[in-house]
Structure 1
Amino acid sequence: MPVSPAANVLYGLPHSLYTGIARSYLRTQGIAYLELPPAHADFVDRILPTIKRSIIPVLETPDGEIIQDSLDIIDHFERQGVPYPAYPEGPLQSVLAVILQYYGYQAMLRHAMHYRWSYLEQQESFLRHAFATGSDATRAEAIMARMQSYLPALGINAETVPLIERSFEGLLDILEAHFAQHPYLFGGRPSVADYGLIGPMFAHLGRDPVPSDLMKRRSPNVFRWVERMTAPGLDTPDFPGYGSEFIAEDAIPSTLEPLLKHVAEEIFPELTAKFECMDALIEKLQPEDGQPVASKAHQRHVGQVETTFRGAPITSGVAPYSMYILRRADRVLERASDADRSKVQAYLQRFGLDKALPGERGYSVDRRNHVEVWERR
């Protein structure tokens, strides 16, 4: 049955990491929407021919605009104006929020996919039910097999599994202390940092049986934040009188500093190696402005790098989408005063996060016609 044109339609799935981000944002902002699975006829007949790849989430607005990607869905509504804007006004909070958004969107794929697929035997019935939602058992089987095949490109192997699990437990402990004092990462409402983390922390780690059980037993305040992020509006009865603003004067609470150290330890040297891989690719190919980053629309990786995760050697896929996210932090600094720019850079250096920003490289990554493209300046 065709969907009514009067509603925002979110095409996604309950167990999808990136759908979870978009859904959380829409619920928080009170934006009415109808969620449908990608097996729905409207997605197959109208959306797929437009975006040219089978990917979720996709939002179709009442006037027929199609927006693919949770980040772009957020930015679409931010431009229109929402009750709880997700980008802090202070340059330091804003830059850190983008870096934490990147961590959730990209670096935490390793944790999410490990706990989902390495413990398949313990949670198989749950996952089979999830992947058959809006589909059928045969298609679910094929999708599950494809998802499991991604583990090597995410650096998940026998040597890294203990490190990934210690990393997740450490992250839970850090966030537990923070969310005991603050409802969201930067204060009284979620920022893009919260939306970045909620993807893996809900869809995989807060929903699949094995990691969600660990989260509930080890870090109840973190699980409460997951509930808060997936509820309508600001679900903060446990913080009466806190308010809905970001922490004043662009301040960073001391409880957030261990998270920044943790993130720096997680993303480097891998992120630096990925930037260098893209630099070499640009030098070799000399692409024109607007040229797709890959020859096929569904292809997200443009190469692989040999690097390390917490000291263990890994092979990791290089997705230009990482630069697409982090360029937002560069743009914050471009708009900042000289004094604010120096303040932010000094703070990032304290935690080893200064190299998380791409900086001037002679190129960037944009999204046009629903695919990532090289942007040449």
Structure 2
Amino acid sequence: MTQAPPSTGPLILYGAPHSLYTGVVRCYLRTQGTAYIERPTSHPDFAQRITPAIGRSIIPVVELPDGSIIQDSVEIIDHFERAGVPWPAYPEGPLQRVLAIIVQYYGSQAMLRHAMHYRWSYLGEQEAFIKDAFAAGSGPDMAGKIMARMQSYLPQLGVTEASIPLIERSFESLMDILEQHLRLHPYLFGGRPSVADYGLIGPMFAHLGRDPVPADLMKRRAPRVFRWVERMTAPGLDVPEFVDYGTDYFIDDSIPETLTPLFAHIADEIFPELTDKLVFMDVHVNHLQPADGQPVCDKPHQRYLGKIDTQFRGVPVTTGIQPYLLYLLRRADAVLQSLDETERSRVIAGLQRHGLDQALPGERGYSVDRRGHIEVWEIPS
């Protein structure tokens, strides 16, 4: 967190309506009833005050009334969680909490492939909508350049002619799984959204639930999923269909049967890619021997460390590696480390039942932290 020249007035969210990670923060603030003003990156304050303060042009950014600046959707959520909110987003049960973080990772990282495919591979069928969104967010002069840059990311996300049929099948399967769960429950872990919901809503709203082609598919195939998207983007807990359901997470750290297919789906999607990325980082760190606090990439605006050849549902793909994934998943490791031996064994057994025990990085001799709004290597002393 840094200080910009003090602002006056309410909390300000710098972002864009079509931005995946802005959508996460917007949903969280609306759910909590936190008043804010949203400004696009074309607002003069973003270039004049915010970008110099954080060292790169990136969204979302929250500016607090005291002038403090927070960048990154997870950091923003965690800031408000520490301060206290009406609807805390981390389940108290350790198994639920660890699984929620894994789902958050899946939505915010692994589903970039789905989100970007449906936005840019179908550009010809929804160009007017996409172009208008980018012009509104960044200004007409920058819209075309930003759109071209975003479209160029498809290869490093593993979006190819061979993988596209699997990506689309995956999205349809995910909708079918969520449709069955959301017929019985308003949110993934019960009566209020968790970090799992906030992780999924990024791609499921900004791209897949808003862009014309995937949004139409969602409405026709999975109406309860589309309703969940509406619920997540509405103020407070928008749950008129669930009278007297309550606002708690599932009792006794339990996992309903309707979530079992979701965890199986996630396990099928993230491996072996996640394992291959962690191995790449192991080798890289062993060779580099970085100092604690050293940026993970050569330049602050860079987020990709390199590329690997791996697989997505059995099809070879080449994907970029964001060390940020380690920052996300370390929060699940921290949950395990806080438990006594009996509870730790119970949670690990639960993860094994769902095929997700290898999603936690575990001890590797290094980690990734965020300091000064960028990812840095964290090396134990």
Structure 1 contact 175–222 (Cα < 8 Å) conserved = yes
- 1: CA distance, partners of 2:64 / 2:352: 41
Q: Confirm whether residue 248 of structure 1 aligns to residue 245 of structure 2.
A: no
Tell me the residue number matched to 1:102: 105
Following superposition, the deviation at residue 349 of structure 1 comes to 1.2
Structure 2 contact 112–157 (Cα < 8 Å) conserved = yes
Tell me the residue number matched to 1:54: 57
Tell me the residue number matched to 2:22: 19
Tell me the residue number matched to 1:324: 327
Q: Confirm whether residue 154 of structure 1 aligns to residue 157 of structure 2.
A: yes
- 2: CA distance, partners of 1:308 / 1:49: 39
Letter of the structure 2 residue corresponding to residue 185 of structure 1: L
Following superposition, the deviation at residue 40 of structure 1 comes to 0.9
Q: Confirm whether residue 181 of structure 1 aligns to residue 188 of structure 2.
A: no
- 1: CA distance, partners of 2:349 / 2:91: 19
Following superposition, the deviation at residue 352 of structure 1 comes to 1.7
Runs of 4+ in 1 over 4 A off after TM superposition: none
Residue-pair matches, total: 376
Tell me the residue number matched to 1:165: 168
Letter of the structure 1 residue corresponding to residue 55 of structure 2: K
Tell me the residue number matched to 2:232: 229
Structure 2 contact 6–65 (Cα < 8 Å) conserved = no
Structure 1 contact 330–359 (Cα < 8 Å) conserved = yes
- 2: CA distance, partners of 1:70 / 1:186: 20
Letter of the structure 1 residue corresponding to residue 9 of structure 2: A
Q: Confirm whether residue 273 of structure 1 aligns to residue 276 of structure 2.
A: yes
Structure 1 contact 128–140 (Cα < 8 Å) conserved = yes
Tell me the residue number matched to 1:218: 221
- 2: CA distance, partners of 1:372 / 1:244: 35
Q: Confirm whether residue 35 of structure 1 aligns to residue 9 of structure 2.
A: no
Structure 1 contact 323–364 (Cα < 8 Å) conserved = yes
Letter of the structure 1 residue corresponding to residue 288 of structure 2: L
* Alignment partner of 1:305 out of 305, 308, 312: 308
SS state at 1:132 partner: helix
Letter of the structure 2 residue corresponding to residue 140 of structure 1: A
Percent identity reads 68
User: With structure 1 as the length reference, what TM-score do the two structures score?
Assistant: 0.99
Q: Could you give the per-residue CA deviations for residues 141-176 of structure 1, whole angstroms, max 9, x where no partner exists?
A: 000000000000000000000000000000000000
Structure 1 contact 99–329 (Cα < 8 Å) conserved = yes
Tell me the residue number matched to 2:135: 132
Following superposition, the deviation at residue 4 of structure 1 comes to 5.5
Following superposition, the deviation at residue 39 of structure 1 comes to 1.4
Structure 2 contact 42–139 (Cα < 8 Å) conserved = no
- 2: CA distance, partners of 1:159 / 1:62: 49
Following superposition, the deviation at residue 136 of structure 1 comes to 2.8
Tell me the residue number matched to 1:367: 370
- 1: CA distance, partners of 2:352 / 2:252: 20
- 1: CA distance, partners of 2:320 / 2:262: 24
- 1: CA distance, partners of 2:193 / 2:68: 26
- 2: CA distance, partners of 1:184 / 1:340: 25
Tell me the residue number matched to 1:354: 357
Letter of the structure 2 residue corresponding to residue 147 of structure 1: M
Q: Could you give the per-residue CA deviations for residues 164-211 of structure 1, whole angstroms, max 9, x where no partner exists?
A: 000000000000000000000000000000000000000000000000
Structure 2 contact 7–66 (Cα < 8 Å) conserved = no
Calculate the aligned-residue CA RMSD, in Å.
1.0
Following superposition, the deviation at residue 137 of structure 1 comes to 2.5
Letter of the structure 1 residue corresponding to residue 326 of structure 2: M
Letter of the structure 2 residue corresponding to residue 72 of structure 1: E
Letter of the structure 2 residue corresponding to residue 336 of structure 1: L
User: With structure 2 as the length reference, what TM-score do the two structures score?
Assistant: 0.98
Letter of the structure 1 residue corresponding to residue 105 of structure 2: Y
Q: Could you give the per-residue CA deviations for residues 220-265 of structure 1, whole angstroms, max 9, x where no partner exists?
A: 0000000000000000000000011101100001000000000000
- 2: CA distance, partners of 1:134 / 1:168: 27
- 2: CA distance, partners of 1:328 / 1:135: 33
- 1: CA distance, partners of 2:47 / 2:6: 13
Following superposition, the deviation at residue 289 of structure 1 comes to 0.3
Letter of the structure 1 residue corresponding to residue 330 of structure 2: R
Structure 2 contact 291–377 (Cα < 8 Å) conserved = yes
Structure 1 contact 3–42 (Cα < 8 Å) conserved = no
Structure 2 contact 14–38 (Cα < 8 Å) conserved = yes
Q: Could you give the per-residue CA deviations for residues 296-337 of structure 1, whole angstroms, max 9, x where no partner exists?
A: 111001011100000000001010000000000000001112
Q: Confirm whether residue 340 of structure 1 aligns to residue 343 of structure 2.
A: yes
Letter of the structure 2 residue corresponding to residue 46 of structure 1: R
- 1: CA distance, partners of 2:48 / 2:331: 34
State which drifts further: 284-293 or 126-135: 126-135
Q: Confirm whether residue 65 of structure 1 aligns to residue 64 of structure 2.
A: no
Q: Confirm whether residue 78 of structure 1 aligns to residue 63 of structure 2.
A: no
Following superposition, the deviation at residue 134 of structure 1 comes to 3.7
